[in-house]
Amino acid sequence: MKQPMNGGPGGKRPMGPPRKMNFGTLKRVIKLLFSYYPVLMPLTFLCIIFSAGVSAIPAIFQQQIIADIEVWYKTGDWEAASKVIIPKVLILVGIYVIAIIAITLQTQLMAYITQGFLNKLRCAMFEKMQNLPIRYFDTHKHGDIMSHYTNDIDTIRQLISQALPSVLQTSIIVVVVMCIMLSFSFWMTLIVLLGVVLMFTVSKTIGGGSAKYFVRQQKALGKTEGFVQEMMNGQKVVKVFCHEEKCKKDFDTINDQLFEDSFRANAYANCLGPIVMNIGNILYVVIATVGGILLLSNVPNLSFRTLLAGGFGILTIDIVIPFLNMTKQFTSNVNQFSQQINHVAMALAGAERIFEMMDTEKEEDKGYVTLVDCTVDEDGNIHESETHTGMWAWKHPHTADGSVTYTLLRGHVVLDDVDFGYTEDKTVLHNITLYAEPGQKVAFVGATGAGKTTITNLINRFYDIADGKIRYDGININKIKKSDLRRSLGLVLQETNLFTGTVMDNMRYGNLSATDEECIKAALLAGADDFIRRLPEGYNTVLSGNGANLSQGQRQLISIARAAVADPPVMILDEATSSIDTRTEAIVSKGMDALMHGRTVFVIAHRLSTVRNSDVIMVLDHGHIIERGSHDDLIAQKGKYYQLYTGAFELE
């Protein structure tokens, strides 16, 4: 049986070649760090460099102290030797004290920088998300988007707080220790280098495989969370259709892919450390053996120091013993460096997903016509007002001559020969032409998918049209700033969205400057005041979970009241009363009529009884307006609307 290629519940995604780490992403993270903390980051790096350099110094002091002890052993003059040894020990102790201070400062700075960076990054992500087009949320699972703020952010936390400082510190130690080794003995350093080449080869092979699958793991994790979030939102539907077993199977498929990617990533990662560590242990034994043989054989020693002195030197015990300690230190740091590959790989995978969202083109807005408060004088001239007057006008600057004209906001909407498709290859609206005069009620009826909601989405500019023109009070809506355009439109959707907060807060969402009295007046208008006052705390009752403690009808009434608080000249009601029972609908009808009075209203409804009193009814079919007219006109035509209204033809 052929597997689907989209990685959905029906099958696993194709196992193409795993992606490697993107070091351009790492460079971008570091660049952001320095841009956010231009002073603290260099200071932190200096602390890391100092503490790393100090950790490599003991080998030099150890070699010198052992040499001094050898002299004391041969001469027996401890007093003379102590005058040399004790100052060196005290200097070393002083350096360690300073190193402790540097490390303490480094850890405190890194904690501050890490949490501050994540705070700034989350703010930048959320700000970016607010500016993304609706299309982005239509094409990405919400659980996957949430994963950016949780799992992906956490991997970056590990990168900044642990991996980056560790990589920098171990790299410096390795370089410094290597330089000290070369100043001690070329022969033994050569053996160490051969062992390090083997360690890096193993790290590259195993760590590279680990990195590839950590990238997959992050994507699979986001996909899993997206599926879980989707199932949680649809839990009632799952249960009512007894779909539990199918959901389990679908989840198992997605979860198995996460298991496979995580298993491969961690299988590589977990075997890397022990292998590299044991290579280091073997190298230690080899250095001890070779050093002993060279020492007993009196092999001439070659190093930077002997070269500067003019040739070969003698290999002594004060060189071999510190060299063994340096070998252990060198290999342990190489091992620690290789271990950080896993954290870096995970972080880059998470950062790449975050930057993918951050790099998504934001909602384009080239509008320059704005909505302003205004007054009208006795001669009919429009003047901009700095205070709220209850009257609005479109402020239209003209670049040609620098003049500014004002047009009263009346709610006159025209769609002229509009074509639209969600994708370029499929047009869903064809030659849509309609005129909505100020104060008119225009209704759209038709089967699901006919294009009713799409038309209202175009008026809001959630999507831009492919061809034609949409004019608002005679102005092409492409010239109007989207925020000002949407401020002039009220929207009540079939699916209600209430936010955590009081009932009053949710109603004030329509107009943040509205007073309590204005909100209560809007609730009375929508018919919601009666049930709100019966709530435990009335208007101060806290709602959570999208108003889960309210009925669907009550949630919709609050949504309608929220639109009334906004008091826009144009209202879009997309199945606004579909969740309200017939009795409640009768109560709300008067309030809705009052709400719609004097406004241009677009109504989408499957209940044809709710559109009877519309000034004009548009009947849509597959993206075409096939009939238009008043209720009586369409009934007289005995066309599709007549069939729908009389039940001769079902809407669905």
Name the residue range of residue 320's domain. 23-358
SS3 300: strand
446 and 315 assigned to the same domain:
no
pLDDT bucket at 280, cuts 50 / 70 / 90: confident
The phi, psi pair for 10, rounded to 5°, reads -75, -10
Dist CA 407 CA 382 (whole Å): 8
Structure confidence at residue 67 (pLDDT) = 66
Q: Look at residues 308, 327, 358 and tell me which one is the last residue of a structural domain.
A: 358
SS3 328: helix
Nearest CA among 573, 497, 565 for reference residue 528: 565
Residue 439 tokens, joined: 């104060």
198 and 297 assigned to the same domain:
yes
pLDDT tens-digit map of 31-48: 999 999 999 999 998 888
pLDDT bucket at 648, cuts 50 / 70 / 90: very low
Structure confidence at residue 481 (pLDDT) = 92
Dist CA 571 CA 574 (whole Å): 10
Q: Is 278 within a domain?
A: yes
Structure confidence at residue 432 (pLDDT) = 92
Residue 545 tokens, joined: 């979970």
Q: At residue 175, does pLDDT exceed 60? A: yes
132 and 227 assigned to the same domain:
yes
Length of the chain (residues)? 652
Q: Is 1 within a domain?
A: no
State the average pLDDT over residues 545-549.
Answer: 75
Q: Are 216 and 262 in contact (CB under 8 A)?
A: no
Structure confidence at residue 131 (pLDDT) = 87
Beta strands in 485-558 (DSSP E): 489-492, 501-502, 542-543
Q: Is 368 within a domain?
A: no
351 and 445 assigned to the same domain:
no
Which run of H or E residues covers position 584? helix 582-596
Q: At residue 418, does pLDDT exceed 90? A: yes
Question: Residue 464: which residues within 8 A CB-CB, separation 6 or more?
Answer: 364, 458, 478
Question: Residue 530: which residues within 8 A CB-CB, separation 6 or more?
Answer: none
Q: Look at residues 358, 381, 404 and tell me which one is the last residue of a structural domain.
A: 358
pLDDT tens-digit map of 369-392: 999 988 988 888 888 888 877 788
Structure confidence at residue 258 (pLDDT) = 85
Q: Is 510 within a domain?
A: yes
Q: Would you tell me how many other CB atoms lie within 10 Å of the CB of residue 421? A: 17
Structure confidence at residue 217 (pLDDT) = 80
pLDDT bucket at 112, cuts 50 / 70 / 90: very high
Q: Is 589 within a domain?
A: yes
The CATH number of the domain holding residue 218 is 1.20.1560.10
Structure confidence at residue 533 (pLDDT) = 92
Residue 569 tokens, joined: 């000249």
Q: Are 509 and 585 in contact (CB under 8 A)?
A: no
**Which of 453-467, 593-607, 622-636 comes out lowest in average pLDDT?**
593-607
Residue 259 tokens, joined: 């298991």
Nearest CA among 577, 512, 501 for reference residue 545: 501
Dist CA 218 CA 225 (whole Å): 11
The phi, psi pair for 436, rounded to 5°, reads -120, 105
**Which of 147-161, 165-179, 319-333 comes out lowest in average pLDDT?**
319-333
Residue 441 tokens, joined: 């009620």
The CATH number of the domain holding residue 634 is 3.40.50.300
354 and 445 assigned to the same domain:
no
Dist CA 555 CA 531 (whole Å): 11
Dist CA 338 CA 342 (whole Å): 8
Q: At residue 499, does pLDDT exceed 80? A: yes
Q: At residue 202, does pLDDT exceed 80? A: no
pLDDT bucket at 453, cuts 50 / 70 / 90: confident
Dist CA 571 CA 563 (whole Å): 8
Question: Which residues are registered as beta bridge partners of 407?
Answer: 394
Which run of H or E residues covers position 616? strand 616-621
SS3 315: coil
167 and 315 assigned to the same domain:
yes
Nearest CA among 573, 628, 619 for reference residue 596: 573
Residue 238 tokens, joined: 């799952």
Strand pairing class (489-492; 570-574): parallel
Q: Are 496 and 543 in contact (CB under 8 A)?
A: no
Structure confidence at residue 208 (pLDDT) = 64
How many domains in the chain?
2
How buried is residue 361: exposed, middle or buried, by Cβ count under 10 Å (0-12/13-18/19+)?
Answer: exposed
State the average pLDDT over residues 295-316.
Answer: 76
Q: Which residue has the higher pLDDT, 181 or 585?
A: 181
Dist CA 520 CA 597 (whole Å): 19
DSSP label of 140? S
Q: Are 358 and 160 in contact (CB under 8 A)?
A: no
Q: At residue 81, does pLDDT exceed 60? A: yes
Q: At residue 72, does pLDDT exceed 70? A: no
Structure confidence at residue 244 (pLDDT) = 79
| pTM score above 0.75 | no
Mean of pLDDT over the chain: 81
Which run of H or E residues covers position 617? strand 616-621
State the average pLDDT over residues 405-417.
Answer: 91
309 and 186 assigned to the same domain:
yes
Half-sphere exposure of 640 (CA within 13 A, CB side): 17
Q: Is 404 within a domain?
A: no
Q: At residue 583, does pLDDT exceed 80? A: no
Residue 298 tokens, joined: 């009196």
Nearest CA among 514, 507, 8 for reference residue 220: 8
Q: Look at residues 314, 333, 358 and tell me which one is the last residue of a structural domain.
A: 358
Structure confidence at residue 472 (pLDDT) = 93
pLDDT tens-digit map of 83-109: 777 777 787 788 778 878 888 888 899
Structure confidence at residue 98 (pLDDT) = 82
Residue for token digits 């091992």?
Answer: 335
Quote the percentage of the chain above a pLDDT of 90.
14
Q: Is 585 within a domain?
A: yes
Q: Is 407 within a domain?
A: no
SS3 306: helix
Q: At residue 7, does pLDDT exceed 60? A: no
Dist CA 343 CA 155 (whole Å): 7
pLDDT bucket at 191, cuts 50 / 70 / 90: confident
| Amino acid identity for residue 510 in this structure | G
**Which of 318-332, 512-526, 571-585 comes out lowest in average pLDDT?**
571-585
Nearest CA among 466, 489, 482, 463 for reference residue 599: 489
